[in-house]
Amino acid sequence: MTGQPSFRLGYVPGVTPAKWVRIWTERLPRVQLELIQVAAADAPALIRDGAADAALLRLPIDRDGLHAIPLYVEQTVVVVGKDHLVTAADEVTTADLADELTLHPIDDVLDWDRPPGRVVDERPASTADAVALVAMGTGLLVVPQSLARLHHRKDLTYRPLTDAPESQVALVWPADEPSELMEQFIGIVRGRTVNSTRGPAPASASASADKTTPKKTVPKTAPKGGRRKPSRRR
């Protein structure tokens, strides 16, 4: 006896799969979608080890043995205290942070060697720890906007950083032939409609096709040739 079918989807902090989960539930109500939150550094291994069928994570990653579909690019922001001078501007550049102390957490997801400004030597273990240090006035923090929102505090705010690297969120899955459920999820994130999503045709479609089989047409009988029978004269 087999259990209920399921699809396991990993996702990294800040990425919100709610929209795709809602569509999945509407289209495949009998297939459970299991969400697994995973640290950014551990997300590729989650897929390679078979602990998840796919994951929503940030590029770049080592793509060996993996397929990836880039989905969207995140705005990069600088997190500061609400009374910091940076808040006077609507957006800032890395040059504006040249004299500022900045924090570089170990789990930084941006593709650079180090953030701008005067980087603090001791690296916080996590983005959450770095946010706490910003609140203490230790330095500033550059992160994707989704992480700034995830770690929101009333005493902090953020501003767009226009010339910093941006993070790209992607759907990643094993390089093997995708399963039917994987094809379904790919279709959802690519915006395919129910009718255009890949997969076997529903049974109702086959039944409908049988009902519309054209009927055989009986050809009309051609008039018989020959002479007319002469009428009798009286």
Locate the domains of the chain by residue range. Answer: 6-73+168-197, 76-165
Matching CATH number, 6-73+168-197, of 3.20.20.450, 3.40.190.10, 3.40.50.1980, 3.30.460.30: 3.40.190.10
pLDDT: which is higher, 197 or 20? 20
8-55 confidence digits (pLDDT tens): 999 999 999 999 999 999 999 999 999 999 999 999 999 999 999 999
How confident is the model at residue 2, as a pLDDT? 56
Q: Is the pLDDT of residue 78 over 70?
A: yes
| 23 conformational bin, left if phi > 0, alpha if psi -120 to 50, beta if neither | alpha
DSSP state of 134: H
Q: Is the domain covering 76-165 a CATH 3.40.190.10 domain?
A: yes
Question: What's 199's DSSP letter?
Answer: S
Relative orientation angle of helices 18-27 and 180-189, to the nearest 10 degrees: 130
Pair of tokens at residue 183: 């094809």
Are 14 and 150 contacting, i.e. CB atoms less than 8 angstroms apart? yes
- For residues 231 and 204, which has the higher predicted lDDT (pLDDT)? 231
pLDDT of residue 217: 44
Q: How far is CA 184 from each of CA 120, 178, 204, rounded to the nearest angstrom?
A: 46, 10, 19
Quick one: pLDDT band at residue 196, thresholds 50, 70, 90? Answer: low
What residues contact 191, with CB distance under 8 A and at least 6 apart?
none
β-bridge pairing 54-59 and 6-11? parallel
Fold match between domain 6-73+168-197 and domain 76-165:
yes
